[in-house]
Structure 1
Amino acid sequence: MYPIVKQFHVILVIISIAFFQIRYWRFQVMGKPSQTWLKILPHGIDTLLLLTGLWVAIISGFTPMNSPWLMVKLLALLVYIGFGALAMKKSGGLQFFSYLLASLTVIYMISVAMNKAIWPF
């Protein structure tokens, strides 16, 4: 069961990142009008992503207490959410800077998950 749930989680990570990129570039940079489904669908995907992540952690026995890398990844998730929200709501230089930091935070989270290390570089 673990490989299937983990693979589904990874697929959701890719979809979630793709939606963040599409939404940012489409709405903030190109100025295209918002489409309702592009506002709602990412929340559903991110909810499934969080649930599958929890499921993977339960199956594998990882907890934030016995796996420091998981605690750091969860904290980085909160940072990503914050920067992502700023990137979608603010304008000008702060908007792009927030987008850039959100994107770098995602890269960091992926590296942490793949290497199971707090400083994976």
Structure 2
Amino acid sequence: MEIRSLENIDPEILFYAFQRAFAEYEMQLDKSELLAMLKRRGFRRDLSFGAFDGDDIVSFTFNGIGDFDEVLTAYDTGTGTLKNYQGQGLATSVFNYSIPYLKKAGVHNYLLEVLQHNKSAVSFFK
């Protein structure tokens, strides 16, 4: 397992990872909807990271970067882990791996939102 930046990853591959990680999610996005959402939220591939099993992204955090109350802030615009890889701490590892890179980029805050009934996500983010 290797954690690295998503900087050079094709958007098609990012969509495929997102689609697989959120296959059982209550709300589904097609590729154009996902790409529009990422653009709207300031998605930065160079400051977004994934855990790779070989060439496959198995866990990821898509980070948007922007000003929030005049402070450079990262926004979690999508964190997911493929079902077969859940429970291994990969999302935590990806998040922890990203912190030094975000700090180096001048990010001072991290903002996220989660649906309260998504118990595994709430647990992860606590």
Please report the TM-score for the alignment, with normalisation by the length of structure 2.
0.30
Larger helix proportion of the pair: 1
Pick the structure with greater CA Rg.
1
**Relative to total residues, which structure has the larger strand share, 1 or 2?**
2
